[in-house]
């Protein structure tokens, strides 16, 4: 399922969401400019589970943040930024601009640790904003379960555009992540998982739900 837009208006302009999309785009252009040297950059700025679990240099912890802005290809960044644009503006609107920045980064860091937990000996760098965006999806599910999502739905060779409640869209999304994570883990030796970081998505999603309780502004009670 591919989300096209949501029917969920905001009250404020999504400065942070747009800034994150622009920053990711600029970093991707930087990656393209590196040519063959991009592999070196990915190893330098991506999260390598072994480097985190066998910490020899505290500076490697910066990759928990820098990895969130690197992507493996055009489809990778396009998909992530589409999800961030559709779902991020409403979470930013609810949390406020500054809270949303911190929320986003913490979700991304939590997602990285979720991946590390299941691949602690892996030397393969992990990159991408999907872990942080998964946290946005988790928060969206709690805040706007009945929001309508215009969705491109593939049915074999037929593609249809339908409108789905956010709760069903996002519950299917997290079920898909858990299913694929379980299958990939059972087929791969523990500690050396590569490919899609399914457990980063799962950890980010549930981190977003938990962090929402901390970052959501308290509403004042009315007198009388």
Contact criterion met (CB below 8 Å) for 69 and 24: yes
- Average pLDDT, stretch 81-89? 97
CA 129 to chain centre: 5
- pLDDT above 60 for 193: no
CATH number for the domain spanning 155: value is 1.20.1540.10
Q: Which residue has the tokens 């791969």?
A: 188
Is residue 40 over pLDDT 90? yes
**Could you tell me if residue 222 is inside a domain?**
no
Instruction: Give the CB-side neighbour count of residue 85, counting CA atoms within 13 A.
Output: 15
50-72 pLDDT, tens digit per residue, is 999 998 888 999 999 999 999 99
Model confidence pLDDT, tens digit, residues 106-154: 999 999 999 999 888 889 999 999 999 999 999 999 999 999 999 998 8
pTM listed for this prediction: 0.91
Distance CA 124, CA 192 (A): 8
Q: Taking the alpha carbons of 171, 186, 50, 69 in that order, is the dihedral positive or negative?
A: negative
Residue 221 belongs to some domain of the structure = no
Judge whether residue 224 has pLDDT over 50: no
101: domain range? 2-215
Cβ proximity of 184 and 115 under 8 Å: no
Determine phi and psi for 110, rounding to 5 degrees. Answer: -60, -40
Is 165 part of a structural domain of the chain? yes
> 183 by DSSP, 3-state: which?
helix
pLDDT(221) > 60: no
User: Which residues have a catalytic role annotated?
Assistant: 130, 201
pLDDT value for 201: 96
CB atoms within 10 A of CB 214: 10
73 assigned to some structural domain: yes
Do 119 and 47 contact (CB within 8 A), yes or no?
no
Number of domains in the chain: 1
């Amino acid at each position: 399922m591919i989300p096209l837009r949501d029917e969920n208006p905001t009250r404020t302009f999504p400065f942070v969401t747009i800034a994150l999309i622009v920053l990711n785009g600029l970093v991707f252009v930087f990656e393209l400019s590196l040519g063959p040297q991009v592999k070196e950059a990915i190893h330098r700025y991506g999260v390598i589970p072994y480097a985190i679990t066998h910490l020899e240099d505290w500076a490697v912890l910066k990759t928990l943040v820098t990895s969130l802005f690197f992507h493996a290809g055009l489809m990778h960044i396009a998909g992530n930024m589409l999800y961030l644009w559709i779902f991020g503006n409403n979470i930013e609107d609810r949390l406020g601009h500054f809270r949303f920045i911190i929320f986003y980064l913490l979700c991304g860091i939590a997602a990285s640790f979720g991946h590390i937990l299941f691949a602690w000996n892996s030397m393969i760098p992990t990159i991408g904003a999907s872990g942080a965006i998964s946290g946005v999806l988790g928060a969206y599910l709690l805040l706007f379960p009945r929001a309508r999502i215009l969705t491109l739905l593939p049915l074999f060779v037929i593609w249809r555009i339908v409108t789905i409640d956010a709760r069903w869209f996002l519950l299917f999304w997290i079920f898909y992540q858990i299913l694929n994570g379980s299958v990939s883990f059972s087929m791969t030796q523990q500690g050396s998982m590569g490919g899609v970081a399914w457990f980063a998505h799962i950890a980010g999603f549930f981190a977003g739900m938990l962090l929402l309780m901390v970052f959501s502004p308290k509403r004042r009670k009315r007198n009388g």
